[in-house]
Amino acid sequence: MRLLAKVWDFRYSLLANSWSLLNILVSISAMPLALTYNKTLSMDVYYSKVKVLTVILRCSLLLLVLLSSQTLAAEKSDPDFAFTKTYHYKIKKRKSHYVLSSKVQESRILISERAKYSSNFYVYEGSASKVDHLSARLNGKKLKKGRVGFHYQRPKDIFFAQDKVHSISFPTTIKIGDSLSYKFERKFSDIAYLPIIRVPNIDYIKRFEVIYEHPKEFQVDFEFFFPRDEIPYRILREEKRTSLIFDSIPGELPLPYYNYNDILAAALVTVKVGGVSVTPTSVNEFVNWYSKLASLQPQLQDSDKTILADELNQVSSVTEKLTLIHDYVRKNIRYIGIEDSAHTIVPHEPATVLEKQYGDCKDRACLVSAIASEHGIPVQMALVSSSWYLPFEGEHVSHYNHMICYYEAGDSSVYFDPTARRWAFETIPESIIGAHTLILDPKTPSSGSLFSYNKSISLEIDLEAHIDSLENSSGTATLSNSYLSLALYSRAELTASEARRKILNGIGSSLRGVKIDSLIFLDKSESSMMVAFRADLSSFVIKTQRRAYLPSAPFVVVDNEALAREDDSLPLMFESLEGVTLSLTLTTPGMEIKADSLILGENSDTTSSALVDYQYTSSIRMIDSSNVRAEYSFTRSKKIFSGAEKSHFLKFCKDYLGEKKNMYPLNWINK
Amino acid sequence: MKRLPLIALLIVISSACTSSPRLTYLVAPEEKPVQELNIDIEDLEDKYGDYDGVYLEKEFTAEHAGVKDDVGKSFLGIGNKWTFSIVKRDRYVILNPEADWLTTIRLNAKPDNLFLQVIAPDGTVNNYTIADFKKEKDDYGYDDYAFVIPGVVKGTYVDFGFDYSYNVPIYSPPLEHERFLQYSIPCHKTSFSFLYPEWWNIEVKATSSGVVPHSKTILDVENKKKSLVIVKTDVPAIESEPFSPFYKEMADYVKLRIVNMEMKGVALDELTSWEQHTERFKKFALKHSDKKDRLVKEAFNQIMVGALTRRDSAMSVLRFVRDSIDANGKSKQGKAYKTLKDRAGSPYDATGLAQTLLRYGNFDAKVILVHSAADGYFDPNFFSGSQMYTLALAVFFPDDTLIALPYVRDVPLDYIPKRYQGQVALIIPDKESAFRSFITPQGSLLDNTRDEAFELNIGANGQIAVTETKTFRGDFAYHWREILRLSKKESLEKTLEDILEYQEGDVSLSDYEILNGEDDSKPLIIKLHYTIDNLITVTPEEAIFNTGGFLSPLSESQSELEKAERNNPIRIYFDREYNKTISVTFPDQWRILTPLDTISFENSIGSAQRDFTVVGSNLKINQRLNLRQVSLPAESYPDLQQLIGASSALDLKRIVFDIQPADAQEME
């Protein structure tokens, strides 16, 4: 039902915007309007604004329906359109630098009725790649000016940003057989921004061609990544031109728990002259390039050197000092990005951040590094790819979208993220655990993946109940990791009732048959929070005329979507970890239960206490003559499961789902 | 030297003019010790800790100033100035430093004057000016001014004000003003002042039947100025809650219009009736020409081919316009033949074309304007286009009225969004008929009914084979047809799995059928065949069937109704009915142990019924839930929860079966 609700919301939004559109049109022609107080915008302008919003919402709906609905076993339908795209790059050498520009042309011929609903297209413009001369044609005839527009992309917490989204809106009356095309030019500020080639996983690619026009001494090479099977391609090399061509490529169905659904191929492009790379591709080349844009060893200015000085002098260990610095930055510096052209990828000076008391991830990481440096602790800034990383050998600026901190001394090292306001030192947000990192150490840069110190259990639930009043049970929960983050966020950002509801939903949604309410906050530390609540277990403990039953698998943690991935050879990718325990003390006078236990998953035949990637355990026993204790635990790490490991994991999922129909019976002693 | 006579003339004219000078300007706060502000942060947090902040005071003043040209028209209007100005001041305390909307300021024009005073809880005072704001271009090339308040912590006090004025262009004077007086955070005091020349007249819109916001009007004789002032204190915050009325049906606001004015040699051509308003629209939508509309008549005849009933014919015309005319095109000024020829025009043109086509079939079809409930109460005496601007087409049949929006491509022809149901509509007059108003129909119960039928066959191993038939009409059918239209076959199966009623169990969809998917004149029927695993626990003596939500009354709304308290009134805009028929066939050895009680109750919001019949190994359940069109105070919330909340009596969580040994059955 969730999907439906989402679609409904979207539809209402669309409808509302249709009305707005009309309202504006009506307004232009006919009536004196209530004026906006701040500025008399021309109504044409307002019309365009509404239109942009409308097309974005329409596109979102389409994406929602098409992408969120992943198919499991169906045959592919005929394509909706034939897609052709050409990138034509020109690389020129100037005295001391290289000039990069491109011409891009995309066209699609509509084949099905459904394709008519994709009549809006977008072109992104970042501060390092300016877009110019955007025009569009329908069946060869140029679209009128009003159908090509743009808006600035201004996310809520990025305050000043130069990023633009250009939009092309074809008439809604397009029909099967129509040819929709648009083209534009792009100028890049640096050859380092030469884009990674991404062959989209769309309906049907008739032709996808990338041409590099370059001086004859240049060599263009490609490092490929194919998320599915390798697709055929051709590389044509001429004296001053290198081309990469893909022809007649059908789309692939999206798969659940797979993060490369949006592309069929990717290629990292390296440009070399005389064997020397001019695109910063190796770790050293990349860090060297970045060090020319930003200081990798930031320093505090003299007037700021007293920041935290007293506090830091009172503690002796590096861990204590780093904890203080981390806490100061994460708790006091508001998250607001000022991404004007110079600062899209370059942090602001620590002095600026301290003065304003706000900044984005790179500003914070840079500030932490500067404060630590002032106290003799070499903390490095580290780039992070928080979305799924394209597994190339080479580096590229577009790989990274986050910056954190890294400290290493001898054998010990630690990553910490001062942007994660609600994550204490030595804990890492689950979203970046395992992410690819690039440590910006100017002397010994290195890349790796982000390890975690988080507790394996994020939610520990304790319930107490009496068999005769299951509706009036009670419980506590200890929240860690993402549950703690959710709770801290909710308490800080939401109204008290909304916060309680959000936390209750978070806890309750992990359990089958348990309804909880009346939340109160009990205790809080840096790494956990304890809450208490009232619980209704009348659907959890099932009472019949003969006996009562306790569930064998009470957690809502595995869905059968993963099982649909049994037959393919691609890995299963989980973006979050699961770690939940439940302990129930049930008072059952006059009843008894036979002790029983179950272990599924890794180490199921050992008593090893080592961390496991996935495991489910349950046990039930009488703890005295009238009390039963049931204990359950489920863990699954954030992990990519492939090959045999994937098969074992899927068997584990199947076994767990099968347990849902099993129960532990409690019998009356005297019946 | 040649200019001197002209200047002299202007001086003479000006000196003879009646003027109402500008009186309101920004007044910067006095520098005074923080203690005198009397801000008790702890107390504010205790009271308002749930919110991002609290307004201590919000002040907004709008003023018209200038010279009435009452000695004859001035020379080209030169020398007279009509200015419109606003003065705004907000004083607030930030309780959530992460709330960007309170800690950042963005202005989309450069103010004449501005002050920004920020006081930290420790008493540190920082003052900022427009020079501290960063200028950037907006999407349309205008200058924006933006500022991120530095050093914000919980308890930071912000005092922000600016004034802004401009010379009023006579071609688009600001003659209507609206201001909210209630916000998403609490407000200790809010005031709205509107100053205007004493020779003008204004009207204030009623915000509900007979209720005009309480205000006082002050006359400043010396300056020939009238001031309308509204002050509200202790204004609670407004929150979003399900089944609420539209925002402007709940929140306090003031809306006024100038009905009589003269300034700068310009007199207002104000609306004095709704008929006049519709006349203004007419020229954009309806320009009939029997000679030139020949093409339209031919098109009508072609469209009619195959239509069986009058309603079918009308729908064919509307469908033709909706699907063939690009209503985002350039205006054709109501010329139907041009719109038809170019297959493009404005929404007026598309609606006008539909009406012109229908005229050739002698339909009683009218272009209309409909009020939107989202604009709050319709005040019949407040003649303003802002109350009545949505264009539609009404086709009157002897026992039915069809309201359609033929210029909105993705909306079914007979679908009326709830904001336009039961609202006042005005007919734009044409040759055949005069102006009149009417009330648009409510969504009929027939059109807003969802029927679901389930046939469950439970095997001895606990696996369930299900055939589920969903019948959608009206609102429901519209949304589902949208999904069907946008989904490819391979993605549709997953979408359908997502809407199955079962919240638990492992569902495997084996087949589905869709009936009337393209024909929106009939109910949409989706038939799903699937199996469910792991929903039934089978022990040697008992079987426990976790119904997994399929017997819940209205599962998609439950989570929203878990909240214990309710602030907003309850509004359901039209009657809805949900019917479920469930047939459960179970193994012969099983007997139902769970007491199955018949349920029947009715409350202020609707009614619910459920009854059971057991014949042999078959259980039949009939469940009906009605939600009525209601407008009730927040106190009725428990009734809503009783019907569709998580604790609804209709929500049967499980059915327990007794399993009789095979030999025992033989003994029977």
Could you report the per-residue pLDDT of A389-420, keeping only the tens digit for each? 898 999 999 889 899 999 998 888 899 999 99
Residues of A within 8 A of B255 (CB-CB) are: 34
Structural contact between residues B456 and B584, judged by C-beta atoms closer than 8 angstroms: yes
Q: Measured between alpha carbons, how far is A371 from A416 in angstroms, rounded to an integer?
A: 15
Over residues B508-518, mean pLDDT: 88
Q: Measured between alpha carbons, how far is B58 from A105 in angstroms, rounded to an integer?
A: 52
Question: Confidence class of residue B400 from pLDDT cuts 50, 70 and 90?
Answer: confident
Q: What is the pLDDT of residue B211?
A: 87
Instruction: Tell me the shortest Cα–Cα distance from B277 to chain A, in angstroms.
Output: 9
Question: Confidence class of residue B99 from pLDDT cuts 50, 70 and 90?
Answer: confident
- Among the partner residues A25, A52, A421, nearest to B346 by beta-carbon distance: A25
Q: For the ranges A139-148, A629-638, A655-664, B646-655, which has the lowest average pLDDT?
A: B646-655
Instruction: Please give the residue that has the higher pLDDT: either A373 or B264.
Output: A373
Closest by Cα among B161, B162, B155 to B119: B155
Residues of A within 8 A of B490 (CB-CB) are: 71, 74-77, 253
Q: Is the pLDDT of residue A11 over 80?
A: no
Question: Confidence class of residue B160 from pLDDT cuts 50, 70 and 90?
Answer: very high
Contact (CB<8Å) A336/B100: yes
Q: Is the pLDDT of residue A311 over 60?
A: yes
Most confident of A389-398, A500-509, B14-23, B111-120: B111-120
Mutate to test the interface with A, among B260, B323, B343, B389 (most CBs of A within 10 A): B389
- SS3 call for A15: helix
- Among the partner residues B50, B410, B556, nearest to A4 by beta-carbon distance: B556
Contact (CB<8Å) B324/A660: no
Q: Measured between alpha carbons, how far is B26 from B343 in angstroms, rounded to an integer?
A: 53
Q: Measured between alpha carbons, how far is A170 from A147 in angstroms, rounded to an integer?
A: 7
Closest by Cα among B496, B442, B505 to B472: B496
A368 φ/ψ sector (left φ>0, alpha ψ -120 to 50, else beta) = alpha
Q: What is the pLDDT of residue A1?
A: 28
Q: Is the pLDDT of residue A612 over 90?
A: no
Q: What is the pLDDT of residue A69?
A: 34
Question: Confidence class of residue A156 from pLDDT cuts 50, 70 and 90?
Answer: low
Contact (CB<8Å) B140/A37: no
Question: Confidence class of residue A283 from pLDDT cuts 50, 70 and 90?
Answer: very high
First-to-final CA distance of chain B: 125
- The helix (run of H) or strand (run of E) holding residue A237 is strand A234-238
Contact (CB<8Å) A658/B331: no
Contact (CB<8Å) B593/A545: yes
Contact (CB<8Å) A77/B328: no
- Among the partner residues B50, B331, B534, nearest to A495 by beta-carbon distance: B50
Contact (CB<8Å) A497/B492: no
| Closest Cα in chain B to A3 | B498
Contact (CB<8Å) A512/B148: no
Residues of A within 8 A of B344 (CB-CB) are: 171, 173
Instruction: Please give the residue that has the higher pLDDT: either B451 or A417.
Output: A417
Instruction: Tell me the shortest Cα–Cα distance from A355 to chain B, in angstroms.
Output: 7
Residues of A within 8 A of B142 (CB-CB) are: 39, 41
Query: What does B289-333 look like in DSSP terms, one character per residue?
Result: -TTTTHHHHHHHHHHHTT--SHHHHHHHHHHHHHHH-BTTS---T
Query: What tens digit of pLDDT does each residue of A94-117 get?
Result: 877 889 999 999 999 999 888 887
Instruction: Tell me the shortest Cα–Cα distance from B276 to chain A, in angstroms.
Output: 12
Q: Which residue has the tokens 């180490």?
A: A603
Q: Is the pLDDT of residue B476 over 80?
A: no
Residues of A within 8 A of B62 (CB-CB) are: 37
Q: How many CB pairs under 8 A join A and B?
A: 264
Share of chain B above pLDDT 90, in %: 35
The bridge status of strand A141-142 relative to strand A197-200 is unpaired
Q: For the ranges A53-62, A122-131, B119-128, B593-602, which has the lowest average pLDDT?
A: A53-62
Structural contact between residues B47 and B95, judged by C-beta atoms closer than 8 angstroms: no
Q: Measured between alpha carbons, how far is A633 from B264 in angstroms, rounded to an integer?
A: 80
Contacts of B545 (CB under 8 A, 6+ apart): B458, B535, B536, B654, B655, B656, B657
Structural contact between residues A262 and A251, judged by C-beta atoms closer than 8 angstroms: no
Mutate to test the interface with A, among B149, B506, B559, B657 (most CBs of A within 10 A): B506
Backbone φ and ψ of B39, nearest 5°: -100, 115
- SS3 call for A569: coil
Over residues B390-409, mean pLDDT: 88
Structural contact between residues A295 and A346, judged by C-beta atoms closer than 8 angstroms: no
Contact (CB<8Å) A35/B86: no
Structural contact between residues B622 and B494, judged by C-beta atoms closer than 8 angstroms: no
Structural contact between residues B360 and B297, judged by C-beta atoms closer than 8 angstroms: yes
Instruction: Tell me the shortest Cα–Cα distance from A657 to chain B, in angstroms.
Output: 7
Instruction: Tell me the shortest Cα–Cα distance from A340 to chain B, in angstroms.
Output: 10
Instruction: Please give the residue that has the higher pLDDT: either B269 or B10.
Output: B269
How many Cβ atoms sit within 10 Å of the Cβ of residue B368? 24
Q: Which residue has the tokens 């005496």?
A: B381
Query: What tens digit of pLDDT does each residue of A343-358 get?
Result: 888 999 999 999 999 9
Q: What is the pLDDT of residue A6?
A: 30
How many Cβ atoms sit within 10 Å of the Cβ of residue B522? 12
Over residues A366-385, mean pLDDT: 96
Mutate to test the interface with A, among B450, B534, B647, B656 (most CBs of A within 10 A): B534
Q: What is the pLDDT of residue B78?
A: 52
Structural contact between residues A325 and A416, judged by C-beta atoms closer than 8 angstroms: no
Mutate to test the interface with B, among A69, A330, A655 (most CBs of B within 10 A): A69
| Closest Cα in chain A to B390 | A23
At residue B393's C-alpha, the angle toward residues B389 and B396, to 5°, is 130
- Among the partner residues B164, B494, B565, nearest to A497 by beta-carbon distance: B565
Contact (CB<8Å) A357/B152: yes
Q: Measured between alpha carbons, how far is A58 from B486 in angstroms, rounded to an integer?
A: 11
Query: What tens digit of pLDDT does each residue of B403-416 get?
Result: 988 888 767 777 77
Instruction: Tell me the shortest Cα–Cα distance from B614 to chain A, in angstroms.
Output: 19
Contacts of B69 (CB under 8 A, 6+ apart): B17, B77, B80, B262, B263, B264, B265
Is this model's pTM higher than 0.80 or not? no
Residues of A within 8 A of B148 (CB-CB) are: 159, 336, 338, 356, 358
Instruction: Tell me the shortest Cα–Cα distance from A358 to chain B, in angstroms.
Output: 7
Contact (CB<8Å) A334/B537: no
Contact (CB<8Å) A30/B284: yes
Mutate to test the interface with A, among B486, B524, B538 (most CBs of A within 10 A): B486
Mutate to test the interface with B, among A544, A547, A596 (most CBs of B within 10 A): A544
Q: What is the pLDDT of residue A152?
A: 81
- SS3 call for B568: coil
Hey, what are B213's tokens? 């916001």
Closest by Cα among B276, B447, B248 to B369: B276
Contact (CB<8Å) B104/A25: no
Share of chain A above pLDDT 70, in %: 86
| Closest Cα in chain B to A564 | B508
- SS3 call for A555: strand
- Where are the alpha helices (H) located in A198-316, listed in sequence order? 283-291, 309-313
Instruction: Please give the residue that has the higher pLDDT: either A33 or B366.
Output: B366
Q: Measured between alpha carbons, how far is B342 from A125 in angstroms, rounded to an integer?
A: 35
- The helix (run of H) or strand (run of E) holding residue B584 is strand B576-585
Query: What does B117-142 look like in DSSP terms, one character per residue?
Result: EEE-TT--EEEE-GGGSEEEE-TTS-
Backbone φ and ψ of B619, nearest 5°: -110, 130
- Among the partner residues A39, A497, A538, nearest to B108 by beta-carbon distance: A39
The bridge status of strand A337-339 relative to strand A158-161 is parallel
Query: What tens digit of pLDDT does each residue of A554-571 get?
Result: 998 888 788 889 999 999
Question: Confidence class of residue B201 from pLDDT cuts 50, 70 and 90?
Answer: very high
Residues of A within 8 A of B656 (CB-CB) are: 542, 544
Structural contact between residues B112 and B164, judged by C-beta atoms closer than 8 angstroms: yes
Contact (CB<8Å) B389/A26: yes
| Closest Cα in chain A to B657 | A544
Q: What is the pLDDT of residue A588?
A: 93
Q: Measured between alpha carbons, how far is A381 from A395 in angstroms, rounded to an integer?
A: 16
Contact (CB<8Å) B389/A27: yes
Instruction: Give residue A168's identity as a one-letter amino acid code.
Output: I
Instruction: Please give the residue that has the higher pLDDT: either A670 or B219.
Output: B219
Contact (CB<8Å) A661/B538: yes
Mutate to test the interface with A, among B468, B490, B558, B652 (most CBs of A within 10 A): B490
Contact (CB<8Å) B486/A75: no
Q: Is the pLDDT of residue B555 over 50?
A: no
Q: For the ranges A273-277, A467-471, B572-576, which has the lowest average pLDDT?
A: B572-576
Instruction: Tell me the shortest Cα–Cα distance from A345 to chain B, in angstroms.
Output: 20
Instruction: Tell me the shortest Cα–Cα distance from B363 to chain A, in angstroms.
Output: 25
Q: What is the pLDDT of residue B444?
A: 59
Q: For the ranges A389-403, A502-516, A547-561, B651-665, which has the lowest average pLDDT?
A: B651-665
DSSP classification of residue A126: B
Predicted-complex ipTM score: 0.72
Instruction: Please give the residue that has the higher pLDDT: either A37 or A311.
Output: A311
- SS3 call for B154: coil
Hey, what are A59's tokens? 């596109």
Contact (CB<8Å) A65/B491: yes
Hey, what are A344's tokens? 């899209």
- Among the partner residues B150, B487, B507, nearest to A358 by beta-carbon distance: B150
